[in-house]
Chain A
């Protein structure tokens, strides 16, 4: 680079207080003898000031809209706690009604026990939609994980924090969903569910594209695992069962 080009890069860095003492004195000396670079210095300074000085007023609706949304989120969270039962019962029902087959994973008493109380019409309509949604969503998740495993596994990654929740089991790839999104992912719009959990994380135990790939959804106190094996298998299991499962797969 020419001498002036070098000093122009110093002028820019100097405006940002990113010069070493040596660079700073070299620049000062150069500016005293070079009108061309003084011109650049002047222009950069003026433009830099203008960017920061021309702040526009904030739309009045912004603050109000943000807080309205925050309150809506809070109400949603509270309602969620009130709604109870049946997501897992319904999932268990799908296994049977849909004829997909049960995995080798143990099915928790909670899931099987609630089976009779699950809403019959809703559940009967579920299997086709469910397996379709799961197939599609799992494929998408797999693809995403193989594309950018690092980003996927970083739970605090900014682009994904909107619906991300802290996860206790952070040793695998995790992604958070809010309840509604999760239910939609799992079963699509066609099925009504009453689920009650504050968080759900998607955990990919392995994601190398083989038949062994398993995606596990963890909610507050239940695990639903989906294993990719030609068909998708669903089971609900307790945290204890899950820990055993993880140990066996590590």
Chain B
């Protein structure tokens, strides 16, 4: 949906045309739901969060200034709702879940011979389930930056603004998140483990 149409629909909703909101829901529900799903890991919570986010957007539509596109404004609401949800969940589960150790080093793997074909990686099956499991293994912070980038296509600066962190931190967190995700997928056999030691963590600040 282009920005002009978005703005028209937003204006119609503000002017009292409730059904115009339906078009906005139609246009973005798939992305909204999938962002939530990637962030929280299960369909039930993802649906609740999607609904909550749309209602938040509806109720605060008059504060949407049009500085950004409606979609990125909406996605920001979704990610904040997800982060709230995950924080609450974390508080409830602090006793049963050990938090990810930032300095923890991922396993090292044998270095294979150099005759591998890079295309093999693509031939291996990266299933929806394996990706989701991998994302669930990441810390909330790492998952958030990666999902914001991969599903919402936000730039590093936009992610930095949405999460209130430095742009440089976004860059290092995304690289780190990708390494950890690949490391998990190697362990699970979804990615061949040639040079998997390259996924060994070099530290957030590096």
Asked if A2 meets B202 with Cβ closer than 8 Å, knowing A44-B178, A52-B151, the reply is yes
Q: Are A55 and B55 in contact (CB under 8 A)?
A: no
Q: Are B51 and A62 in contact (CB under 8 A)?
A: yes
Asked if A39 meets B194 with Cβ closer than 8 Å, knowing A44-B178, A48-B178, A50-B126, the reply is yes
Q: Which B residues are CB-close (under 8 A) to A164?
A: 59-60, 63
A107 to chain B, nearest CB (A): 32
Q: Which A residues are CB-close (under 8 A) to B147?
A: 51
Q: Which B residues are CB-close (under 8 A) to A46?
A: 121-122, 124, 126, 191
Q: Which B residues are CB-close (under 8 A) to A44?
A: 178, 182
Q: Are A16 and B126 in contact (CB under 8 A)?
A: no
Q: Are A58 and B58 in contact (CB under 8 A)?
A: no
Binary per-residue interface labels of chain B (115-141) against chain A in the complex, 1 for a CB within 8 Å, 0 otherwise? 010110110101110010011000000
Binary per-residue interface labels of chain A (14-26) against chain B in the complex, 1 for a CB within 8 Å, 0 otherwise? 0010100000000
A188 to chain B, nearest CB (A): 24
Q: Are A47 and B181 in contact (CB under 8 A)?
A: yes
B182 to chain A, nearest CB (A): 5
How far is B118's CA from A51's CA once the two chains are assembled, in angstroms?
19
Q: Which of A42, A48, A56 contacts B37 (CB 8 A)?
A: A56
Residue A189 interfacial (CB < 8 Å): no
Asked if A16 meets B77 with Cβ closer than 8 Å, knowing A40-B195, A46-B126, the reply is no
Q: Are A51 and B30 in contact (CB under 8 A)?
A: no
How far is B38's CA from A52's CA once the two chains are assembled, in angstroms?
10
Q: Are A58 and B33 in contact (CB under 8 A)?
A: yes
Residue B102 interfacial (CB < 8 Å): no
> Chain A interface (Cβ within 8 Å of chain B)?
1-2, 4-6, 8-9, 11-13, 16, 18, 35-44, 46-48, 50-52, 54-59, 61-63, 65-67, 69-71, 73-74, 155-156, 158-159, 161-166
How far is B30's CA from A63's CA once the two chains are assembled, in angstroms?
10
Asked if A16 meets B149 with Cβ closer than 8 Å, knowing A47-B182, A55-B30, the reply is yes
Binary per-residue interface labels of chain B (48-82) against chain A in the complex, 1 for a CB within 8 Å, 0 otherwise? 00111011101110110000000000001100110
Q: Are B131 and A158 in contact (CB under 8 A)?
A: no
Asked if A51 meets B174 with Cβ closer than 8 Å, knowing A39-B198, A63-B22, A70-B58, the reply is no
How far is B128's CA from A114's CA once the two chains are assembled, in angstroms?
64
Binary per-residue interface labels of chain B (134-174) against chain A in the complex, 1 for a CB within 8 Å, 0 otherwise? 11000000000011011100011000000000000001101
Q: Which A residues are CB-close (under 8 A) to B121?
A: 39, 42-43, 46
How far is B135's CA from A181's CA once the two chains are assembled, in angstroms?
37
Q: Which B residues are CB-close (under 8 A) to A1?
A: 202-203, 206
Instruction: Show 5 A/B contacts (Cβ-Cβ < 8 Å), sorted by A.
Output: A5-B206, A51-B38, A52-B150, A58-B29, A59-B33
How far is B115's CA from A35's CA once the two chains are assembled, in angstroms?
9
Q: Which A residues are CB-close (under 8 A) to B155?
A: 16, 18
Q: Which B residues are CB-close (under 8 A) to A59?
A: 33, 43, 47
Q: Which A residues are CB-close (under 8 A) to B38?
A: 51
Q: Are B58 and A51 in contact (CB under 8 A)?
A: no
Q: Which B residues are CB-close (under 8 A) to A62?
A: 29, 33, 47, 50-51
Q: Which of A39, A70, A165 contacts B195 (CB 8 A)?
A: A39
Q: Which B residues are CB-close (under 8 A) to A74?
A: 18
Q: Which A residues are CB-close (under 8 A) to B54?
A: 66
Q: Which of B29, B60, B191 contacts A43 (CB 8 A)?
A: B191
Q: Are B131 and A47 in contact (CB under 8 A)?
A: yes
Asked if A162 meets B60 with Cβ closer than 8 Å, knowing A35-B114, A56-B128, A66-B54, the reply is yes
